[in-house]
Amino acid sequence: MQEKDGMGEISPPPPAKRQPPTVRLRRLAAELRHLRQEAGLSQAEVTEKTDVNLATLHRIETAKAKPQLRTLNALLDAYGVTGNRRADLITLQKEAKQRGWLHGFEADLPSPYSAYIGLEAEARQAINYESLFIPGLLQTEDYARAVVRGVRPTATDDEVETRITARMQRQALLESDTPLRLWAILDQAALSRTVGNDAVMRDQLVHLSRQAQRPHITVQVIPFSAGAHPGMPGSFIVLKFDADSPDAIHIDSMAGGLFLEKETDIQQYNHICEHLRAIALSPTDTAALIASLREDY
């Protein structure tokens, strides 16, 4: 039922609230932008090759609009995309409005175009809670190799090295002129469990200490003395983007990587982050604890 204003006229309905882009749509936008750049084409050159309107192309590449299938095919033709990669992008287009996403971690997942890696590269900040491991962005190569071999005992040498290469490449996000801001919260168990051997752990803790001194990286440890806490059910990452783009929550599991996008889930995990930061040691006390544990190795 429409409302009448004070003059007896029918007031127009309020404008519909624009839905924020889903993880799928953001990934599709990022991949299309990367494909254009790989092809060495400007947006203007793409419009000449495809007849796709410049404003439309900009909206597609910034996840403000879902491309129609014929538009997507025209762009993929211009970029020379074929085979499985093309099929994957068409699937993304068809499912772009769906929220929540369980993406299986197959052997070839760690590529520049995998779901999580692509989103992480678009984020401006990551809040990473880990209960059992050092966060991937802060791992040394030897520690990462020991983790992958331990977690995936049936993986081939090639599969292990593919994952290690991807993990090391991800760390470039911390080295750019506008680096990713990382807030890492670790349970003390992640520091106390020997991964690899004593030498691997000693080098890892030295590296963690050095990284924690950088202005865009904050490290806090939740000591054993804190008792039970909300992070104990498992690790997660909150990715934060520009102000007009909602956060994305990523949870790793043996079944795959689960993206959470509901507003209630985002609020819950941000609240958990606040609680974990409050009960964790300060960055200064964390540095002292890491130095103490390092002596054990």
Lowest mean pLDDT of 206-210, 231-235, 252-256, 267-271, name the range. Answer: 252-256
* Residue intervals in the chain for CATH 3.30.870: 101-295
The continuous run of DSSP H or E covering 162 comes out as helix 157-170
With b for 16 or more beta-carbon neighbours within 10 A and e for fewer, the 226-259 pattern comes to eeebebeeebbbbbbbeeebbbbbbbbeeeebeb
- pLDDT tens digits, 233-264: 999 999 998 766 778 898 876 656 778 878 89
Asked if the model's pLDDT at residue 98 lies above 80, the reply is no
Count the alpha carbons within 13 Å of 40 in the hemisphere toward its beta carbon: 0
Is domain 101-295 annotated with CATH 3.30.870? Answer: yes
- Joined together, the tokens standing for residue 87 give 């099929």
Asked if the model's pLDDT at residue 198 lies above 90, the reply is yes
Beta strand pairing call for 181-187 and 217-222: parallel
**Class level of CATH domain 23-94:** mainly alpha
- pLDDT tens digits, 112-161: 336 677 778 878 999 999 999 999 999 999 999 999 999 989 989 998 99
78: which residues sit within 8 A by CB, 6+ positions away?
A: 39, 41, 46, 49, 50
Cα–Cα distance measured from residue 237 to residue 123, given in angstroms and rounded to the nearest whole number: 11
* Residue intervals in the chain for CATH 1.10.260.40: 23-94
Asked if the model's pLDDT at residue 194 lies above 50, the reply is yes
pLDDT score, position 96: 75
Lowest mean pLDDT of 22-36, 42-56, 189-203, 282-296, name the range. Answer: 22-36
- pLDDT tens digits, 42-52: 999 999 999 89
E strand intervals along the chain: 101-103, 125-130, 181-187, 217-222, 236-240, 248-253, 256-260
